[in-house]
Structure 1
Amino acid sequence: MFRQAVLLAVLVAVAAVASPLQAQAMKAEREQAGAAQAVGALHSVRTIPEACTRLEGVFTGDAAQPYRMQAVQTAPTCQPRARYVEAAQARPSQASGWILNTLTRIPDASCPSRQAVVRVWRKPVAQDLARDGQGQVRIYLQDAQKQAAAGQMRELPQYSAQMEVVGASCR
């Protein structure tokens, strides 16, 4: 009987510690609330400078698809240091190595109980770049061109975004 009581106490203690850790695992690195947006007003949700991408959204007023979001290139001359991958292709999740980077909630100005929730995910890559005597990573154009010609390009970090609409339907 004593052994069962001790075992039960240990299990309760483990559950008490594991529960907050599991909840914390899904917490975004940065959570932010966007300004309330009117129906039809195109707005920036998040800019991802590493991927030369800006996420734009709009409340449509359509009951079937109340919010629409798209990724657009920030500038034609921007040199990306990461790739943006559509969520349907990337299927971001913590189990597959993605990190929840940003969670943004954008309320509908005409229906405050409805919000667009945008989750931006980041998938880092291991960068084993050699550092010089000053501790800097030096990438020389000639070396990079040779690697590209040989098909030995380094893998880039990836970003992806998922969107969902939560809250009551207003009419």
Structure 2
Amino acid sequence: MSTSDEALALAAAQGDGGAFSTLLSRHYDRVFAFAFRLTGHRAEAEDLTQDICAALPAKLRSFQGTARFTTWLYRVTVNAAHDRRRRAATHARAAEGWGDWEVARQAEIADQSAANDWLAQAMQALPTDLRDTVALVLGEDLTQAQAAEVLGISEGTIAWRMSQVKKHLRALHQKEEQA
């Protein structure tokens, strides 16, 4: 019988390197895939995943074992993505008005976004709360109850958010068909 994620997390929090290594090998790909769904960019998802892995030993000290480890890990990932977005927004505000270099950089970012497939673009157009929700429910195949637990909101709010996602996607599709 293999050791549960929760037991490994508690052991890793106490400094067990083997337990930490096992957790990483079990969940690295999951964290990366979820980070990619949240960010929409491979390089940013790679950076985010590395940041999470580097911070995980310290963060594991706060793992209580009252929730599933994957639920806790999704929450850590969502929080890290939000922190990264806030830092990027702060950096963008600081960089405004830097002339041609900034214009060229922004154009490059826009070109990269345009190269993503339709769904990735549609997810980027969603508000952060809707993007987080759809990444958990559709991308990670969590139930609405599980997604509600990860995000710390009610299951009814998850259902409402998913209906909003559908409305956004329908509107985007209609707009593209009219163009």
TM-score past 0.5 threshold = no
Query: TM-score by structure 1 length?
Result: 0.22
Larger strand share, 1 or 2: 1
Structure number with larger C-alpha Rg: 1
